[in-house]
Each structure stands twice: as structure tokens, then as C-alpha cells.
Amino acid sequence: MRDPARLSALSDIAAVAGIGETDYAADAQASRKGQRFDAYGLAATAFRRALADAGLAPGDIDGLIVGPPLALERAGEVLGLDVGFAVQADAVGAVMQAVTAIHAGLAQCIALVYGNSQRSVATAYGGPQAMGGDRFLAYVQYAPWGLTSQGALYAMMASRYMAETGFTADDLGRVVTGIRGFAALNPNAVRRRGLSLEDYRASPFVCEPLRRDDYCLVNDGGVALIVTTADRARHLAGPLVTVAGFGRHDLNRDATSLRPRLIDRYHSAHRQAAQALHEMAGAGPRDVDAVQIYDSFSVHVPVALEGFGFCPPGEAAGLVRDGALGPGGRLPVNSGGGMLGESYMQGWNHQAEAVRQLRGAAGARQIGGLRHVQYLSDVAGKAATLLYRRQR
């Protein structure tokens, strides 16, 4: 069992001192004209920008966390980093590990880097060799029945969710149009043309009930974060944004049979992760001003909001119908456009956007009065969450 007293000692000790991202919109246009990108090159661009953002130099970096699909050694080689602390992790895992490494004294200034050339290399997210099938058996187990995509798995979750809760196709459409509305305010978003509910309804089914507009982008890009001690970050330029808390809980039993996904909608994991974060940060849903939700598919949004306690289970439709989640709402979701509209960086772009919003640097899409932004994810039943806090 986790030890809340020990975990709370990690709250606010680390800060995100630098963020860097590639030019998703411009690069997507170049892609359409035939340009190909290198994933390590994209990560290097993001890393350089994050360092400049933090006012630091490569020599300041003493730790490296690399997000798959990049390989740890190759990323270190390309970036020129020999370090004493180095691990591979996904977006939320990277931030958690950076905080714990800093707390443990393993490193003081850690580069978190990610790059993905999925469009250039035409990564297959469906089919018998679907990406991720080596880690999640459900992605490939059901190939004989023609079920080989993550989209289909989320479509099955959606069909049951909608039948059980009364969440409608138009509710799902409003989730998408809200996030796409934020993307329209983001000059770096790939999908900057807004999406109306009429457009959504006309979008063809891929795996019914999910439509093409319920699926995230596939584009090339890179993201980097520089995480250092709060003490050090306090002396760098810009508002101080700390990691106030985190939580994670994994559902593995019966995973391949889809029971946690379809019957539980991962809620038992959401609750554990949410509680861990709440204990560590001393803050809960009522303290959160905006959320970033891992949105590979639109249905993630209502399910995560319910599971992490932003509304009672089965009642996300109320938030949607109140207009709470889109631009101008009281609980904005994916203010940069998320993966449905900005860039499919597997949660990494959500971290950059959270920090940017808390700094007050989000331009036309800036949300006012922010103190806390929480990131929610539950890919394949591993619920993970982070809370970022602006320090006064």
C-alpha cells in the first residue's frame, strides 16, 4: 500500500521549468506535401526549445527520461547526454519518475523527451501487428474476429457506456466540438478548422458508435519538459509551476477479456489514483480549474471525468449539456485541442499545455484564474493522474 505521509513530502518539491514542442500545424502541412520527419529530430527540436524556455544549457541536465517509441540510448546519443539517471516512461510516468528521482537525490535537472514520426512512417494502430500489441494482448488477441484496433475497443466501451447511462451520440459530439473549439484557438494545432455538431453527425462511422471525428490525429511531433527542483526553478524566469501530486493504479486482472474496460470502465483504478493524488496534493476535484484528458478517443473524456470524481458516475452528460467542458465553460477540457485537435503526442502535449496555461502564456485560449490543472489518463486500464499547481 502507498504511504500517504511519505508521498506528501514530494508535493511541490519539483517544478516544470521548461517546455518545448515542435510546430505541429506547420509540420502537418509539410507532411501533406511529402516531407518526412525523424522522430529523434523532432525530440531534439523540442529539447532545444525546452532548454531555451528554461534558460538552461545541455550541461545543466543530469537526468534523462525518454518516452516510447523513442529508444533511451539513441535519444541520449542524439541529444548528447550522458547522465546518472535515465529511464523510459510514458508522459505521466515521466513526470512521476522525475519527481521521485529529484526527491531521492538521483538527479536535480531532468530532461523529459518524446518524439513520434507516426505519420511519416505510417505507424499501424490497427491490424494483426497493431502498435502496442506486444504490451496489451487485447490489441491482437481478437484478430480472428476482425477486432484488431484500439478504436474498436473504445467503441465497445462507448456502446455499453451510452446504453447504461443515457449519454447520447450528440453528447459525444459536443465533447468533440468543444475540444476542437479549443484547437481552433491554438495556432499550433493541426486541426484548426472548427467542428460543428452537424459536421460531427455527418462524420462517417469507423467502429460504430465512434465516428472519424471521435478518433485522434496521427501526426509527427515532439515534446520536451525540463523538470528541476522548485528551489532552482524559483530563480529562473517565469511563473513557478510545481508538480503538486500524482497517482496511479493498474488493473491487470482479466485485462485481455476486456472486463475492466467494459464492465468497470476502469473506475476502480480511477478512484485509487484520484485518492492518491488527493492525499499527496491536499487538493481534489473542487480545487481543479481545468483538466487535460488523454483523448485518443472522445469517449475517454466522460469516462475519466466520472472515474476521477468530477461528477458522479453516469452523469458526465450533465457537464456536457451545461457547456462546462468547452471554451467558456467552468471545467475546460483540453484547452490546447488535445489529441483530437492539437497533436497526438500520447499525453505529452497535454503536460506542456497544462504548464503553459498555469503560466498565463496560452494567448487566445488562456483560461482565467488558474491555480490547478489536473491531467487524467486511463489507457488500457492503468489510471494515472498528475496535478500541476501555480505557485504565487
Partner 1 sequence: MTDARPAPRPDALEAEYWRHVAQGRLCLQACDPCGSLRYPPAPVCAACGSAAARWQPLSGTGRIVAWTVFHRSYFPALPAPYTVVSVATEEGPLLVGNLVDHAGPPAIGACVTARIDPATFDTGATGGICQWRLADPTP
**Closest CB 21 distance from partner 1, rounded Å:** 32
Catalytic residue, candidates 40, 294, 375, 388: 294
Site for partner 1 in 108-137 (CB under 8 A): 126-128, 137
- How far apart are the C-alpha atoms of 110 and 275, rounded to whole Å? 27
Among 140, 218, 230, 236, binds partner 1 (CB under 8 A): 140
Q: Which lies closer to partner 1 via its Cβ, residue 264 or residue 315?
A: 264
Among 16, 98, 207, 325, binds partner 1 (CB under 8 A): 207
Contacts of 59 (CB under 8 A, 6+ apart): none
- By CB under 8 A, which span of 154-162, 269-277, 296-304, 383-391 interacts with partner 1? 154-162
Residue 294 annotated among the catalytic residues of the structure: yes
Return the C-alpha cell found at 92. Answer: 505521466
- By CB under 8 A, which span of 9-17, 96-104, 153-161, 167-175 interacts with partner 1? 153-161
**Closest CB 174 distance from partner 1, rounded Å:** 21
**Closest CB 136 distance from partner 1, rounded Å:** 12
Contacts of 43 (CB under 8 A, 6+ apart): 70, 75, 78, 79, 113, 114, 115, 222, 224
What is the DSSP code string of 99-117? HHHHHHTS-SEEEEEEEE-
- How far apart are the C-alpha atoms of 66 and 86, rounded to whole Å? 8
Number of neighbouring beta carbons within 10 Å of residue 309: 18
**Closest CB 140 distance from partner 1, rounded Å:** 6
Q: Which lies closer to partner 1 via its Cβ, residue 160 or residue 201?
A: 160
Q: Are strands 221-229 and 14-21 parallel, antiparallel or unpaired?
A: antiparallel
Binding of residue 169 to partner 1 (CB under 8 A): no
Q: Are strands 290-293 and 372-377 parallel, antiparallel or unpaired?
A: parallel
Among 100, 141, 203, 275, binds partner 1 (CB under 8 A): 141
Rg (CA), the chain: 20
Report how many residues bind partner 1 under the rule CB under 8 A.
36
- How far apart are the C-alpha atoms of 159 and 161, rounded to whole Å? 6
Among 204, 312, 368, 369, binds partner 1 (CB under 8 A): 204
Among 206, 218, 230, 236, binds partner 1 (CB under 8 A): 206
- How far apart are the C-alpha atoms of 1 and 227, rounded to whole Å? 27
Contacts of 229 (CB under 8 A, 6+ apart): 13, 14, 15, 102, 108, 109
**Closest CB 375 distance from partner 1, rounded Å:** 27
Residues near partner 1 (CB under 8 A): 126-128, 137, 140-148, 152, 155-157, 159-160, 163-164, 204-210, 253-254, 256-259, 262-263
* Residues classed as catalytic: 294, 344
